[in-house]
Amino acid sequence: MNKKLLLALCLLAFPKLGRAADRQWVLEQPTLTYHVSHPLHSTEGVSHAAKGKGVCHAGQCDFLIAVPVKSFDSGDSNRDLHMLQVVRGGQFPMVTVRTRLPEEAAGSATIHADLEIQFAGQTAVYRQVPFQLATQGSQIRITGTIPATLSDFKIDPPTLLTVPVKNEMPVSVDLTWRPR
């Protein structure tokens, strides 16, 4: 009787002890593109320097993506330096994005993520941002657009010929994650 009880209790106990088992994701081939519009022309700045990591536990995955502000290239060094100044890139050199997703979301075609973005010394939260998922072998490619605005981060719109750029600054995301 005691042996059976012992066995039952131990069987119940050990799966709980194995709860700390994790799965991790690493970001590869990242492309982040910001879009800024001005009556005279539109501009895009691209960065491939983002790094990211996801840690899964108990069915939930915490993701962190970070990218240096100065890694964005619009094809015009003067504009990039001015962008760096208006977004306070010297003082706050990194953009970080944090999100938490259920682990089973990896099997979905579309996910809606809540993003916490730290940029220019400010924190903004974007709720239920839709992203498309495409599985490529063991890798997952995530694409979508974050509807960021300059005012979300208290950024004064830069001007060209005294005309300010539009407040909208959508950021296109193309990220490939692989499990580690």
Using CB under 8 A as the binding rule, the residues of this chain from 31 to 50 that contact another protein are: 40-43
Of 28-36, 73-81, 136-144, 165-173, which segment contacts another protein by CB under 8 A? 73-81
Q: Is 62 a residue that touches another protein (CB under 8 A)?
A: yes
Among 28, 29, 58, 134, binds another protein (CB under 8 A): 58
Position among 31, 33, 37, 74 found at the interface with another protein (CB under 8 A): 74
- Residue choice 54, 72, 165, 171 for contact with another protein (CB under 8 A): 54
Size of the site for another protein (CB under 8 A): 76
- 125: contact with another protein by CB under 8 A: yes
Which C-beta is closer to another protein: that of 102 or that of 179?
A: 102
- Check binding of 109 to another protein (CB under 8 A): no
Q: Write out the binding residues for another protein, residues 149-178 only, by CB under 8 A.
A: 151-154, 159-162
Cβ burial of 86 (10 Å; 0-12, 13-18, 19+) is middle
Residues of this chain, 131-150, that bind another protein according to CB under 8 A: none
Read off the tokens for 82: 């001015």
The residue among 54, 84, 75 whose CA lies nearest residue 66 is 54
> H or E segment at 130?
strand 122-136
Closest CB to another protein among residues 82, 141: 82
3-class DSSP state of 72: coil
Count how many residues are written for the chain.
180
Q: In whole angstroms, how close is the CB of 49 to another protein at the nearest point?
A: 9
Choices 28-36, 120-128, 131-139, 171-179; region in contact with another protein by CB under 8 A: 120-128
Q: Which helix (H) or strand (E) is 83 found in, with range?
A: helix 77-86
**Contact region for another protein (CB under 8 A) — 28-36, 62-70, 132-140, 171-179?**
62-70
Close Cβ partners of 31 (under 8 Å, ≥ 6 residues apart) = 46, 47, 48, 172, 173, 174, 175
Q: For strand 110-119 and strand 122-136, is the pairing parallel, antiparallel, or unpaired?
A: antiparallel
Burial of 104 (C-beta count, 10 Å sphere; 0-12/13-18/19+): exposed
